[in-house]
Structure 1
Amino acid sequence: MKLLSRKSITAATAVAVLGGLSIAAAPTQAAGPAHSSAAVHSGTAVPELTPRQLAKLPLADRHLTKHERHNLAVVLRDYQVAEGKSIDVKAFVDSFTKDGVFNDMVPGVAYRGKALGDVLPYMANLFPDVHRDLKRITVNGDVISIELSIQGTFEGPLQSPAGTVKPNGAKVDAPTADFWYLHNGKVEKFNCFVGYSTMYQQMGVNWDWASAVDKH
């Protein structure tokens, strides 16, 4: 297999591109050659990224292959439907292959099949205004790596082994790294590394080191 060259994108303005990846293209976008090759995504067309949309991203290398542009469009669309104001569980689940998996790597939890539908509601319950601030994107064929931060306001209860942590309106900005692996235009594996220690600290949850020390 020929290894595709590495292409990196610094995506400080990626949110502007997300707005152009709605399920139904605007009338002015629906016509014309730019969307004539839009792929079918579980019954829903995912518009290819146009040169204008790509221009909104500070691309280090703008010569992404057609295949890479489509993969990037699929991933950006998944971030769009995960936004607090535009949650679309079905669209997120449908973006995965039949045996696709979402791995929440830090706690070691895997979601497959119908369980994929639990991912977005869980975060939106904690942070109704949840937003992923994409900072840097690397596209390499069927693999897309993203440095980002998960932002939001702690307005929903957090269930913990010690009981329920009540929301306090705290703002969170947790460092995160996402790794997307696609196959035939769908997500085969999504590995997500969230800086939970930072997130919980920002939510007002302090680790009880004393109790851990007392056990020894």
Structure 2
Amino acid sequence: MTSNEEVVREAYRLAEGNALDAGGFRALFTEDGTFNDIPNSLTFRGDQIPQAVNGFAGVFPDVHRELLEVHALGDVVAVELRIQGTHRGAFPTPAGEIPPTGNRIDVPTADLWFLRNGKIERFDCYNSANVLLAQIGADPDFKSAIVAVTGA
């Protein structure tokens, strides 16, 4: 029998740039499983899950996740990690795509995996989106935010 920690480690392996297998990643989830990108308020459900893996690898094709700490607590696996890669694909935003910069990212992240009967029921990814954006050169536009709120 495969442990919950082994299932999660396999999920990370299948999402690596050098071994990318979005279908295999999806197969580790329950039929109605969810992948929640918490900082970006995105939820991928069921057969949408491969979109998340493929989308990120399209922007950072050499994506690697350095697992720093892995703790299995019954049906929950908590992971501290760093998401690393090179910005080689267009990064989608509501304002348009940020062209590839060639910049490296090294993003602190915490992931919570909730399993049921050896399958992933819910995956909550808490990545430091502000760090990622700064590392690819997309600094926040505070002036526009102030103008939008105050009209000044």
2:71 aligned with 1:71, yes or no? Answer: no
2:33 aligned with 1:100, yes or no? Answer: yes
Aligned equivalent of 1:138, options 71, 91, 97: 71
Taking the aligned partners of 1:164 and 1:97, their CA distance within structure 2 comes to 32
Q: Which structure has greater strand proportion? A: 2
2:126 aligned with 1:213, yes or no? Answer: no
For 1:152, the equivalent position in structure 2 comes to: 85
Taking the aligned partners of 1:180 and 1:163, their CA distance within structure 2 comes to 31
2:127 aligned with 1:197, yes or no? Answer: no
For 2:94, the equivalent position in structure 1 comes to: 161
Cα distance, 1:98 vs. partner?
1.1
For 1:19, the equivalent position in structure 2 comes to: none
> What TM-score results when the alignment is normalised by the length of structure 2?
0.95
Cα distance, 1:74 vs. partner?
0.6
Cα distance, 1:176 vs. partner?
0.6
Aligned equivalent of 2:57, options 113, 124, 131: 124
Q: Deviations over 1:10-46 (max 9, x none)?
A: xxxxxxxxxxxxxxxxxxxxxxxxxxxxx4xxxxxxx
For 1:42, the equivalent position in structure 2 comes to: none
For 1:109, the equivalent position in structure 2 comes to: 42
Summarize the alignment of residues 31-110 of structure 1 with structure 2, pairs less than 5 Å apart.
Answer: 39=1, 48=2, 70-110=3-43
2:115 aligned with 1:182, yes or no? Answer: yes
Structure 1, unpaired ranges of 5+: 1-38, 40-47, 49-69
Q: 1:93 is paired with a residue of what secondary structure?
A: helix
Q: Which has the higher contact order (CA 8 A, sep 6+)?
A: 2
Taking the aligned partners of 1:183 and 1:191, their CA distance within structure 2 comes to 15
Larger radius of gyration: 1
- Residue type at the aligned position of 1:202: Q
Taking the aligned partners of 1:210 and 1:105, their CA distance within structure 2 comes to 25
Taking the aligned partners of 2:119 and 2:36, their CA distance within structure 1 comes to 16
User: How much is the aligned-residue C-alpha RMSD, in angstroms?
Assistant: 1.0
| Runs of 4+ displaced beyond 6 Å | none
Question: % of aligned pairs identical?
Answer: 40
Cα distance, 1:104 vs. partner?
0.8
For 1:31, the equivalent position in structure 2 comes to: none
- Residue type at the aligned position of 1:200: L
